[in-house]
């Protein structure tokens, strides 16, 4: 495996019901829609387990909430 970037933040999204992450990919490997793999260290009891997660390169705003521009605004 070759390092082509770095994940800067990762978390669970309760809205999307999925894990999401933000990171940087080196320019020569950046292609919108391409699949890459991220090396993740998952904590398990007193140890960490290394897993590989498949990721997709997308534009900055990867989720557009339909309620964001709704008129009248929903509360």
- pLDDT tens for each residue of 21-41: 888 888 887 888 888 888 888
Structure tokens at 47: 């140890």
Would you place residue 66 in the very low, low, confident or very high pLDDT band (cuts 50, 70, 90)?
A: confident
Percent of the chain with pLDDT over 90: 1
- Pairwise CA distance, residues 68 & 29, whole Å: 33
Q: For the chain, what are the domain ranges?
A: 5-56
pLDDT on residue 75:
61
pLDDT at 29: 79
- The count of other CB atoms within 10 Å of the CB of residue 34 is 12
Average pLDDT over residues 45-73: 80
The answer to which of 13-17, 39-43, 49-53, 65-69 has the lowest mean pLDDT is 65-69
Q: Rounded CA gap, 22 and 25, in Å?
A: 10
- For residues 32 and 64, is the Cβ–Cβ distance under 8 A? no
């Amino acid at each position: 495996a070759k390092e082509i970037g770095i994940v800067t933040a990762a978390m669970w999204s309760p809205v999307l019901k999925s894990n999401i992450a933000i990171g940087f990919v080196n320019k020569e490997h950046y292609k919108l829609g391409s699949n890459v793999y991220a090396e993740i260290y998952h904590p398990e009891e007193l140890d960490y387990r290394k897993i590989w997660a498949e990721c997709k390169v997308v534009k900055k705003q990867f989720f557009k909430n339909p309620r964001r521009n709704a008129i009248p605004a929903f509360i």
